[in-house]
Amino acid sequence: MLLDAASLYFRAYYGVPESVKAPDGTPVNAVRGFLDMVSTLVTRFEPGGVVACLDLDWRPAWRVELIPSYKAHRVVAEAVPGPDGVWPEETPDTLTPQVPVLLDVLAALGIPAFGVPGYEADDVIGTLATSPPPGFTGVEVVTGDRDLFQLVDDDRAVRVLYTGRGVAKLEILDDAAVRGKYGVPAAQYADLAVLRGDPSDGLPGVAGIGEKTAAGLMSRFGSVDGLLAALDAGDAQLSAGQGARLTAAREYLAAAPAVVRVARDLPVPAFDATIPRAPADEAALLALAERWGLASPIRRIVDALAG
């Protein structure tokens, strides 16, 4: 089970009231909500291993170079990249301090949590979903990000547990489910997203081409590369209007696929994905539970992992 950590703790932050606080009054709603979501998921799906995947760079420079508008609306106003090249992201003031607390709890539990410099959590997930650790024969990706639908692969037993409407209304997506929602197989989802665009990521898409038209073009031409080849060849299957729109967006279409498609070959650190049946550091976990008023959610996740 691969957790899109930021996706989950943002959802937890907005889903659990800020009135949930530590003894000193510090909000811990995101931590509590995250732990409870993972407890529910582990209990329901009984994975043999779990990894929390992190954004070490939520807006990588190489993606911005290709598409300057990529996630630009999420950058803190008038900000510049830090010394490590990472852009500051607009994050609620009371969420930011909770992330280190969450990472401390995960470490004490024994759940690996890591990212790769210069890449997003999506890329870490893409790498681990493509090449799972030895002994694992399937992957479940837990995320609220539709971009990761591209990883669904029935042959390799990769599916997405989509949290767009919350864990209680979880959608389990295999290839048939992706086809049913979008009219294309999961392998074509990234290219469909390129054509359709995605305002949440600052991707403009091709003007005048919506989701249904994009699905039809993917069905006929297979990929953005195939579509551009057909455009160059003057393929009669493209209407004059479609040809004009695609020609106008030619520069975007040349760059966007590399932005939307997740990396699948990152050098991830060594880790043990096997689910921790007992805490890695029980003393540290007890101290965290007391310090942050997290005894109940920590007890629940310990029981879920042991179960």
- Using CA atoms, how far residue 166 sits from 52, 147, 304, in Å, is 18, 17, 19
Tell which residue, 130, 172, 131, 164, has the closest CA to residue 145.
164
* Burial track 152-176 (b if 16+ CB lie within 10 A, e otherwise): bbeeeebbbbbbeeebeebeebbbe
Q: How many helices (H) and strands (E) does the chain have?
A: 13, 6
Tens digits of residue pLDDT in 35-70: 999 999 999 999 999 999 999 999 999 999 999 999
**Are 58 and 6 spatial neighbours (Cβ–Cβ below 8 Å)?**
yes
d(Cα 64, Cα 74) in Å, to the nearest integer?
13
What is the model's pLDDT at position 147?
96
Tokens of 199: 């305002």
d(Cα 13, Cα 16) in Å, to the nearest integer?
6
**Angle of the 189-196 helix axis to the 224-232 helix axis, nearest 10:** 60
- Using CA atoms, how far residue 274 sits from 7, 51, 118, in Å, is 22, 9, 26
What is the model's pLDDT at position 78?
55
Which residues of the chain have a pLDDT value below 70? 77-88
d(Cα 158, Cα 132) in Å, to the nearest integer?
10
pTM greater than 0.75 (yes/no): yes
d(Cα 2, Cα 13) in Å, to the nearest integer?
20
Pairing between strand 171-173 and 51-53? unpaired
What is the model's pLDDT at position 79?
59
What is the model's pLDDT at position 88?
63
| Ranges for all domains in the chain classified under CATH 3.40.50.1010 | 2-186+262-306
d(Cα 161, Cα 41) in Å, to the nearest integer?
9
Residues ≥6 apart with Cβ < 8 Å to 244: none
Tens digits of residue pLDDT in 222-236: 999 999 999 999 998
Residue 161 bridge partners (DSSP): 142, 172
| Ranges for all domains in the chain classified under CATH 1.10.150.20 | 188-260
158-162 sheet: strands from edge to edge: 113-114, 51-53, 2-4, 139-143, 158-162, 171-173
Q: Is 86 helix (H, G, I), strand (E, B) or coil?
A: coil
**Are 15 and 3 spatial neighbours (Cβ–Cβ below 8 Å)?**
no
What is the model's pLDDT at position 43?
97
Q: Is 152 helix (H, G, I), strand (E, B) or coil?
A: coil
CATH number of 2-186+262-306: 3.40.50.1010
What is the model's pLDDT at position 85?
67
What is the model's pLDDT at position 74?
84
d(Cα 162, Cα 172) in Å, to the nearest integer?
6
Q: Which CATH class is domain 188-260?
A: mainly alpha
